[in-house]
Amino acid sequence: MTFTRQQLLHILSNLTRYKVPDRQTTFKIIMMAVQYHKNFKNYVSLDYTPNSHVYFIGDLHGQYEDMLHILQIIEDERLQSPSTPIQLVFLGDVVDRGYRSLETLLTVLCMQLLWPGRVHLLRGNHETEKISRIYGFFDECKRKHASAVVYLECLQLFQTLPVALILEYKESAPATEEQESQSSDITSTTVPPQISMFCKAEKPVVQSADAS
């Protein structure tokens, strides 16, 4: 069973008011996201033109208010040029450390399901069992749903997330076979190490790839 678009919008609206979905609703969102990600490769390939905007959002770490603020900035820019297509790329490390990791993750997943192909979530080193058990996400899931079941479902989701992004400019040469081969060598079930190409900046950042 899946949610309709209207139901997802209602859940998303409640999340922005800090209302965490019940366990069954949370489970369904995660399972829908798992099926969604299984349709894609282990990397995201995006085409970019001067007439589009790609926003990179990294290392939210459960800072839900920060994410809402960033999304509002993006929305304000979108309203200024509503015809310009946009893409959102969340660069992993969505969970841990902050107090609202579950809300942050579920919001991103709802956005992906509502706007498929326009919202992307990569896997960071905190989207692993080894790290998320230590830095707060495991405890948060137990606290908010009185069970570790939701956490185990999230671990299943994490294994389906892509681990790399290839951004191809329309004016440039297409991605080389070597680039795609290197990305293909890493599977979604590969556990990102603590120090590696997967690790990124500590603070949430938003950047518009605008060549104009």
Q: How far is CA 88 from the centre of its chain?
A: 9
Q: How far apart are the C-alpha atoms of 60 and 88, rounded to whole Å?
A: 14
Q: How many CB atoms lie within 10 A of CB 198?
A: 23
Would you call 10 a catalytic residue per the annotation? no
**For 56, phi and psi rounded to 5 degrees?**
-110, 125
Q: How far apart are the C-alpha atoms of 147 and 39, rounded to whole Å?
A: 29
**For 70, phi and psi rounded to 5 degrees?**
-65, -45
37, 53, 126, 145: the catalytic one is 126
Q: How far apart are the C-alpha atoms of 13 and 33, rounded to whole Å?
A: 18
b (16+ CB within 10 A) / e for 155-165: bebbbbbbbbb
Q: How far apart are the C-alpha atoms of 151 and 174, rounded to whole Å?
A: 39
Q: How far apart are the C-alpha atoms of 7 and 13, rounded to whole Å?
A: 10
Q: Are 186 and 164 in contact (CB under 8 A)?
A: yes
Amino acid letter, residue 107:
T
**Would you name the residues annotated as active-site residues?**
126
